[in-house]
């Protein structure tokens, strides 16, 4: 969904408590002065349907559906460039994480596939401590729509031929389970 050039705010649903509900310092989004530094700093902004600057304005306005259904947060690589450069000191990257959590909790259709990607990756990392490409892809397609796997057969074959995808972890690259780390994070989240 690309951001419309003009939006009639009297004709869309809005929730003025949106940023307050984001947790952490999400409410600091109210400080945004629309300078555009976040968009200019973002390495992924060209691929996003709404730019980071537009997204923060939409959060201020309480445009919940428009923000949570956009691809912007899912394309964020958590590089922290926008956060360290924001002249208003807003914790932008951390607030994007809260936006993702909210989208996943609300089970929005547009976030299901991205959520499946994150969960599959976390499951593999938890088990092996590093990515195991083949298992990760199988888990991802099984959590989402398995039929979409056919679209990637050609690319997957080329990647395997070039040694970018391995059926098994090479012995010298075996990782260690991150079970302990994941358990500790779950404990901290339960306390928060
Ligand atoms: S850099 Fe900060 S103040 Fe500037 S537009 Fe982005 S969020 Fe707003
Ligand atoms: S943290 Fe995300 S939104 Fe911010 S600059 Fe990096 S990729 Fe862009």
> pTM of the prediction?
0.73
Q: Final residue of a domain: which of 45, 79, 105?
A: 105
Ligand 2 pocket check for 99: Cβ under 6 Å:
no
pLDDT digits (tens, 9 = 90+) for 44-97: 999 999 999 999 999 999 999 889 888 899 889 999 999 999 999 999 999 998
Q: Is 8 exposed, middle or buried (0-12, 13-18, 19+ CB in 10 A)?
A: exposed
- List the CATH number of the domain containing 97: 1.10.1060.10
CA of 66 to the centre of ligand 1 (A): 19
Residues 116 and 184 in one domain: yes
Q: Final residue of a domain: which of 84, 105, 126?
A: 105
- In a domain, residue 151? The reply is yes
- In a domain, residue 10? The reply is no
Closest by CA to 116, choosing from 137, 134, 95, is 137
Q: How many domains does the chain have?
A: 2
CA of 121 to the centre of ligand 1 (A): 30
- Inter-axis angle of helices 52-60 and 92-105, nearest 10: 70
Range of the domain at 73: 19-105
């Amino acid at each position: 969904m690309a951001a419309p050039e003009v939006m009639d705010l009297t004709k869309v649903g809005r929730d003025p408590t949106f940023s307050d509900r984001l947790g952490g310092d999400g409410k600091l989004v109210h400080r945004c002065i629309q300078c555009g530094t976040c968009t200019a700093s973002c390495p992924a902004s060209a691929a996003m349907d709404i730019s980071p600057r537009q997204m923060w304005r939409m959060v201020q306005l309480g445009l919940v559906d428009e923000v949570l259904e956009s691809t912007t947060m899912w394309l964020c690589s958590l590089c922290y460039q926008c956060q360290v450069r924001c002249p208003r000191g807003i914790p932008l990257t951390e607030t994007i994480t809260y936006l993702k959590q909210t989208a996943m909790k609300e089970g929005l259709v547009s976030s299901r596939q991205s959520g499946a990607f994150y969960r599959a990756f976390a499951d593999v990392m938890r088990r092996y401590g590093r990515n195991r490409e083949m298992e990760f892809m199988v888990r991802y397609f099984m959590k989402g729509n398995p039929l979409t796997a056919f679209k990637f057969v050609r690319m997957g074959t080329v990647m395997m031929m070039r040694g970018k995808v391995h059926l098994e972890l090479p012995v010298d690259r075996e990782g260690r389970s991150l079970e302990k780390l994941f358990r500790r994070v779950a404990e901290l989240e339960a306390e928060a």
